[in-house]
């Protein structure tokens, strides 16, 4: 809305691009109702500190001016914030024109507020909601051009966290083919002689004990695994008497023993579906869950296991939860319950309690959920993103080093600073 107001004002007064940058700062400094003024002033102050720390004399000059102007804007807010915004804009422009060398600093200051990535998504890749929140900057390694930082973005509708920007579909496709990086790494793994996954499979399905006895399937019962890898889970299920099939574009080792499918069937043919450490690799988890819902018989179960974010502040393994290359989306229990509800499943939390005895690595890092195809799925949590926000805030509160992390700056500003630091280090 501020941008729109500023654009309208620019169009009406025939101002230039430089004025736009100045006006953008001004508009951020002063909003029509004056309510964000306090926040804007503290932002300007933080920006001042940042510019001074960056060690640029001209930057100091701009920052000092901005600080003084912010003070004046505050006084003017009573008489009309729009007028104040114009005054601030005009003065910053005058300051910038006075010394040409100040222009980069002016851009730098505006960049701190308006930093964005060219490929940034504006809607949730799962549920398409535009209600997004930036949660943290994210380094984008291995991208030679453009911004070096994107964001961990959260969806307020479904609670999904995603790397923003996501890798392109072409990149993902190339990565997960047998010839790609992922497939090639799998080829190198030694062949397994026999499956030892029986006890693990039993444990995975134990929370759904009232609907399924995984060791004694009904005659002809079919289990499908989406992303079955070398087929270890399917081997165990086959041993229990299940008819087994799977799908995996990057790894063909399982299909010596199990039927290969090239897509999820459109009609209800499966009793159980498994998606074991796959949904963190895809940008479209809801589409996959919806397809599995169509492919399951009534009462059928889907078992999902993924890295979990709600316990991030305890396990502190950020890159395992989310990174820009492989684990490109991340989940909390509330998020998965919401996605299950959107896909038509009733959700059963199958994770061990975070305080349960056992292997702490697994207990803290992994989320297990079972969805049941019922006529009427349960209601989704009211605030699906809340747990993720809390966990990330708690994680950063205890993060050692890096002043930029400790100052309560907006996420865009933090990303801009990190980007700047990185580009200075590189150049």
Binding site for Zn ion (CB under 5 A): 124, 126-127, 129, 155, 157-158, 160
CB of 392 to Zn ion, least distance (A): 17
Tell me the Ramachandran region of residue 130: left when phi exceeds 0, alpha when psi lies from -120 to 50, beta otherwise.
alpha
Residue with smaller CB distance to Zn ion, 246 or 344: 344
Residue with smaller CB distance to Zn ion, 126 or 418: 126
Query: What residues form DSSP beta bridges with 246?
Result: 225, 260
307 touches 329 (CB < 8 A)? no
> 3-state DSSP call for residue 368?
strand
Residue 6 to residue 15: CA distance in whole angstroms = 10
CB of 331 to Zn ion, least distance (A): 11
Place of tokens 């960056």: 54
* Tokens encoding 126: 């799962």
Residue with smaller CB distance to Zn ion, 159 or 227: 159
* Tokens encoding 236: 């165990």
> 3-state DSSP call for residue 23?
helix
CB of 304 to Zn ion, least distance (A): 16
Residue with smaller CB distance to Zn ion, 155 or 415: 155
246 touches 255 (CB < 8 A)? yes
Residue with smaller CB distance to Zn ion, 74 or 160: 160
Residue 372 to residue 347: CA distance in whole angstroms = 7
CB of 11 to Zn ion, least distance (A): 34
Residue with smaller CB distance to Zn ion, 128 or 399: 128
* Tokens encoding 165: 């920007």
Counting other chains too, the contacts that 380-384 makes at CB distance below 8 Å and 24 or more residues apart are: 380/337, 380/338, 380/341, 380/342, 381/159, 381/334, 381/337, 381/338, 383/156, 383/334, 384/155, 384/156, 384/157, 384/158, 384/159, 384/332, 384/334, 384/335, 384/337, 384/338
Residue 239 to residue 219: CA distance in whole angstroms = 14
Closest CA to 62 of 28, 29, 87, 92: 92
Residue with smaller CB distance to Zn ion, 129 or 423: 129
* DSSP symbol at 427: -
Place of tokens 């640029």: 56
Residue with smaller CB distance to Zn ion, 214 or 336: 336
CB of 375 to Zn ion, least distance (A): 24
DSSP 341-406: HHHTEEEEE-SPPTT-SS-HHHHHHEEEEEEEE-SSPPPPPS-TTHHHHHHHHHHHHT--S-HHHH
């Amino acid at each position: 809305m501020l941008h729109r107001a500023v654009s309208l004002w620019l169009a009406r007064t025939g101002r230039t691009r430089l004025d736009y940058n100045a006006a953008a700062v001004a508009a951020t400094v002063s909003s029509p109702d004056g309510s964000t003024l306090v926040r804007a002033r503290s932002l300007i102050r933080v920006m001042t500190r940042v510019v001074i720390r960056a060690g640029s004399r001209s930057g100091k000059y701009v920052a000092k001016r901005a600080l003084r102007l912010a003070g004046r804007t505050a006084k003017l807010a009573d008489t009309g914030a729009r007028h104040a915004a114009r005054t601030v804009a005009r003065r910053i422009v005058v300051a910038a024109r006075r010394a040409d060398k100040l222009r980069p600093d002016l851009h730098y200051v505006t960049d701190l507020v308006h930093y964005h990535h060219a490929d940034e998504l504006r809607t949730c890749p799962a549920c398409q909601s535009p209600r997004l929140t930036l949660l943290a900057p994210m380094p984008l390694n291995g991208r030679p051009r453009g911004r070096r930082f994107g964001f961990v973005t959260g969806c307020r509708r479904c609670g999904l966290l995603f790397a923003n920007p996501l890798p392109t579909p072409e990149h993902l496709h190339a990565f997960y083919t047998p010839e790609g990086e992922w497939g090639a790494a799998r080829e190198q793994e030694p062949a397994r002689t026999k499956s030892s996954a029986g006890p693990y499979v039993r444990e995975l399905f134990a929370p759904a004990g009232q609907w399924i006895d995984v060791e004694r399937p009904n005659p002809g019962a079919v289990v499908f695994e989406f992303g079955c890898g070398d087929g270890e889970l399917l081997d165990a299920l086959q041993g229990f008497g299940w008819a087994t099939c799977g799908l995996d574009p990057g790894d063909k080792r399982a299909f010596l023993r199990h039927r290969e499918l090239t897509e999820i069937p459109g009609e209800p043919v499966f009793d159980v579906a498994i998606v074991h450490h796959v949904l963190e690799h895809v940008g479209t988890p809801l589409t996959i869950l919806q397809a599995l819902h169509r492919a399951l018989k009534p009462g059928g179960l889907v078992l999902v296991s993924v890295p979990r974010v709600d316990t991030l502040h305890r396990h502190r393994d950020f890159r395992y939860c989310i990174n820009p290359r492989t684990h490109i989306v991340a989940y909390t229990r509330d998020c998965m319950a919401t996605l299950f509800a959107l896909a038509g499943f009733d959700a059963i939390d199958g994770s061990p309690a975070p305080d349960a005895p056992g292997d702490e690595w697994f207990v803290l890092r992994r989320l297990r959920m079972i969805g049941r195809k019922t006529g009427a799925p349960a209601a989704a949590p009211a605030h699906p993103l809340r747990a993720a926000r809390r966990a990330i805030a708690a994680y950063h509160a205890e993060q050692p080093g890096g002043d930029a992390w400790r100052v309560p700056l907006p996420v865009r500003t933090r990303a801009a600073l990190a980007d700047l630091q990185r580009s200075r280090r590189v150049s």
